[in-house]
Amino acid sequence: MNDDSHEDEAPKAEATLRRIHAARAESAAARAAALSHYVEKHGADDANAVWKAAHAGRVAAQALAVLAESGPDPAANARCARNAAAAAAQAALMGRSVDAGAEASAQAAQVALKASQAAAAAAGAERLGADATLNAAADEAERAAVTAAENAGWIIPGEKVPGMATGVRSPEMMSMLHL
């Protein structure tokens, strides 16, 4: 192999990693949006949970928007996916809260936390979003979080989830998201 073929492989690998991270971020952002709407509908008497779930949905939408605006950069793209998964985990905690400890909701919240941790590991400082094993584990954890959310009734398969507005992306928010 010559040097030119190595130069051609790098952009292809980065584009592939971008698609992997983007798919995970989209899934997590959709979970956060679904949970925000679920909590708003079922937790009307808990304004704190409604606000936190809505905020989580906005943060996930912001992470997804930043990913869509950026170029192929495995580290940055993995951070966006991590941030969307963390926001979805926060929304899942609010779902558990309004469901008053229902077993399926408690389990779904726990699985969402694991998905967030797996996404964080994939975006970790050592591998910078490029480790195939960590990415596969994060993808599997995300699929498990979606299934658990469906089992809890937070997501209804086939039902279109309304999108979330990103709100204002302040420098403080972008810094908090490590972007």
Give per-residue pLDDT as tens, 71-126.
889 999 999 999 999 999 999 999 999 998 799 999 999 999 999 999 999 999 78
Asked whether 79 and 129 are in contact (CB, 8 A), the reply is: yes
Note the pTM of the prediction, 2 decimals: 0.87
* Secondary structure (DSSP) of 66-123: HHHHS-S-HHHHHHHHHHHHHHHHHHHHHHHHHTTT-HHHHHHHHHHHHHHHHHHHHT
Token code pair at residue 176? 């908090």
Give per-residue pLDDT as tens, 116-156.
999 999 999 787 899 999 999 999 999 999 999 999 999 99
